[in-house]
Amino acid sequence: MWTRWWLWPLVAVCTADFFRDEAERIMRDSPVIDGHNDLPWQLLSMFNNRLQDTRANLTTLANTHTNIPKLRAGFVGGQFWSVYTPCDTQNQDAVRRTLEQIDVVHRMCQMYPETFLYVTSSAGIRQAFQEGKVASLIGVEGGHSIDSSLGVLRALYQLGMRYLTLTHNCNTPWADNWLVDTGDSKPQSQGLSPFGQRVVKELNRLGVLIDLAHVSVATMKATLQLSRAPVIFSHSSAYSVCASRRNVPDDVLRLVKQTDSLVMVNFYNNYISCTNKANLSQVADHLDHIKEVAGARAVGFGGDFDGVPRVPEGLEDVSKYPDLIAELLRRNWTEAEVKGALANNLLRVFEAVEQASNPTQAPEEEPIPRDELGGSCRTHYGYPSGASSLHRQWGFLLASLAALVLCQCLL
């Protein structure tokens, strides 16, 4: 009897080691592609993008979720680096700030060529895998970064943008954000405005992944119905597991399945447990739920490392990915399902987006209506001079005349 009492802990330890060893074996062949990492924002916040500052050395960088040794330990083979600028830059210097963050990603790859390979395609990701480097892609987080301009959108594509998150935590003039669903923002576009639909079509034409993290449910549904290619949620989790409006509800997960799209699970505690504390097992619960509702092809990872203040116990930084994979294996995920979540699902979606692109097709040219533009510090070259204000003046005049006629009739 005493022998059995000592045996069970030993069996548990050996089993845990087995799953961890299996995770590493799988990840050597199929490293993880993470959908969202905010290290570029940390480089701005901590060093004003001065990469030659000795404290910014990515081999020794401290107090972040991400550095080169942690990426290696976590078997990270592909990373969408978030090009993020806050909502308070909208209608001000969002484009400039976006360009600066794109620049820091490029310089980071140039400064550490033995670690990072800047790529813009699914084939580039596969090449990085073969070279044992981290495929580094640019994801622009927030539609306000294009300043409601299709020309800016195309320019960002030329600079390497391969996904665009349609909103951040604020509406754009053409798409509604998730805070509409909490009542903290007012709906403007009821999902997508006509110009927002043109943005989606232009992203399809170019071959840019459409990212629905941060958008309202109406925007999710409108985009999933309109897009000619699968879409991604670069860092969102399951609403049925944690009822945060930043997460994806089951009816949308069913649309994700129908469109062969992808949900890359976010690790932020408040979107995992709906409290300030969470653990690795609860992250796996989200992965299980998305697999159950949308299928194993719909699951990926978008940790949001270095973009959130709290991450789960057991997933303290990017080095911990093998522990999460071990937990999925412990839950009877097959090797094929795990490889899908690690990389193959994202590669499939990316390839489908590339195949649906049509660069020879005429680009979308119709600009956003002047009346829909926000901000008072902008010029309006190209728009009919004073047309909008003139229409409003005539409307006011006609309304005043109607009121005057009514008063005369009553007298």
Q: What is the CATH number of the domain that holds 321?
A: 3.20.20.140
Q: Of these residues, 147, 202, 211, 304, which one is catalytic?
A: 304
Residue 374 falls within a domain, yes or no?
no
pLDDT number for residue 164? 99
Given a cut of 90, whether residue 1 has pLDDT beyond it is no
CA separation for the pair 101, 356 (Å, rounded): 28
pLDDT number for residue 89? 97
Mean of pLDDT values over 231-256: 98
pLDDT number for residue 6? 52
Residue 382 falls within a domain, yes or no?
no
Residue 350 falls within a domain, yes or no?
yes
Q: What is the DSSP string of 287-341?
A: HHHHHHHH-GGGEEE---BTS-S---BT-SSGGGHHHHHHHHHHTT--HHHHHII
Cα 15 to Cα 9, 11, 125, 191, 327, distances in angstroms: 10, 6, 33, 48, 11
pLDDT number for residue 119? 98
Given a cut of 80, whether residue 4 has pLDDT beyond it is no
Mean of pLDDT values over 340-350: 98
Q: Of these residues, 144, 147, 181, 235, which one is catalytic?
A: 235
Given a cut of 90, whether residue 8 has pLDDT beyond it is no
38 catalytic per annotation: yes
Average per-residue pLDDT in the chain?
92
- What is the total count of domains within the chain? 1
Residue 2 falls within a domain, yes or no?
no
Given a cut of 90, whether residue 171 has pLDDT beyond it is yes
Is the whole model's pTM more than 0.85, yes or no? yes
pLDDT number for residue 374? 85
Residues 41-56 pLDDT 10s: 999 999 999 999 999 9
Residues 288-329 pLDDT 10s: 999 999 999 999 999 999 999 999 999 999 999 999 999 999
CA separation for the pair 252, 289 (Å, rounded): 13
CA separation for the pair 312, 267 (Å, rounded): 7
Q: Of these residues, 176, 202, 211, 214, which one is catalytic?
A: 214
Residues 116-151 pLDDT 10s: 999 999 999 999 999 999 999 999 999 999 999 999
- Residue 63: which region, alpha, beta or left (left: phi > 0; alpha: psi -120 to 50)? left
Q: Of these residues, 65, 144, 168, 289, which one is catalytic?
A: 168
pLDDT number for residue 5? 54
141 catalytic per annotation: yes
Query: Both tokens of residue 330?
Result: 């412990």
Q: How confident is the model at residue 9 (pLDDT cuts 50, 70, 90)?
A: low
CA separation for the pair 337, 206 (Å, rounded): 30
CA separation for the pair 287, 79 (Å, rounded): 19
Q: How confident is the model at residue 395 (pLDDT cuts 50, 70, 90)?
A: very low
Mean of pLDDT values over 258-272: 98
235 catalytic per annotation: yes
304 catalytic per annotation: yes
Q: Of these residues, 34, 65, 141, 289, which one is catalytic?
A: 141
Q: How confident is the model at residue 2 (pLDDT cuts 50, 70, 90)?
A: very low
Residue 10 falls within a domain, yes or no?
no
Residues spanned by the domain of 125 = 18-359
CA separation for the pair 386, 307 (Å, rounded): 42
Cα 25 to Cα 30, 215, 226, 293, 378, distances in angstroms: 9, 37, 40, 28, 55
Q: How confident is the model at residue 106 (pLDDT cuts 50, 70, 90)?
A: very high
Given a cut of 60, whether residue 247 has pLDDT beyond it is yes
Residue 398 falls within a domain, yes or no?
no
36 catalytic per annotation: yes
Q: How confident is the model at residue 183 (pLDDT cuts 50, 70, 90)?
A: very high
Residues 79-92 pLDDT 10s: 999 999 999 999 99
Nearest CA to 73 among 127, 131, 32, 37?
32
Q: Of these residues, 34, 38, 202, 317, which one is catalytic?
A: 38
Given a cut of 80, whether residue 189 has pLDDT beyond it is yes
Mean of pLDDT values over 348-371: 97
289 catalytic per annotation: no
Q: Is 78 helix (H, G, I), strand (E, B) or coil?
A: strand
Tokens 């399951």 correspond to what residue?
238
Given a cut of 60, whether residue 245 has pLDDT beyond it is yes
Residue 140 falls within a domain, yes or no?
yes
Q: Of these residues, 34, 36, 202, 337, which one is catalytic?
A: 36
Given a cut of 80, whether residue 60 has pLDDT beyond it is yes
Residue 288 falls within a domain, yes or no?
yes
